[in-house]
Amino acid sequence: MASDEDQLGTITKPKVDPKIKKPTLFKVILHNDDFTPRDFVIEVLKKFFNKNSDSASMIMYAAHRNGHSLVDVLSLEVAEMKTTKALSYARKHLYPLNMSIEEE
C-alpha cells in the first residue's frame, strides 16, 4: 500500500498547510580581490565555514577566476554570524577579503 493510500485503497492528496512556509535561506558569496593571498582565503573557508581542503580550494579558485563564488546556503542568522567572524579575522590580518549575503 502506498503511503498516501488508506486501507480501502483510497488515495488522498497530501495536505499542504499554507501557514507552514519553507525557511528562507541565504547565499554567502565570496568576492575576488587582488591582494588577499590564496592560502589565506582557503584558511578562512576552513576555519569559519567548515570546508575541507579540497572544497575550500575549489571555492577560492572559482572566485579567483569568475570574480565571485558560492560558499554556502544558510539561515540569515548563521550566514551573518559566520561572515562577520570571517571578515573581522581578515581585517585583523589587514586583508581586504569580502563576502556578501544574498537571499536565495
The rounded distance, in Å, linking the Cα atoms of 33 and 36 is: 7
Question: Does residue 47 interact with ligand TYC by CB under 6 A?
Answer: no
E strands along 1-104, which residues?
Answer: 26-31, 68-74, 98-103
Question: Does residue 46 interact with ligand TYC by CB under 6 A?
Answer: no
Residues 6+ apart with CB under 8 A from 8: none
- Partnered with residue 1 across adjacent β-strands are none
Question: Does residue 90 interact with ligand TYC by CB under 6 A?
Answer: no
Question: Does residue 36 interact with ligand TYC by CB under 6 A?
Answer: yes
Nearer to ligand TYC, 70 or 76 (CB): 70
Contacting residues toward ligand TYC, per CB under 6 A: 30-34, 36-38, 41, 60, 63-64, 97
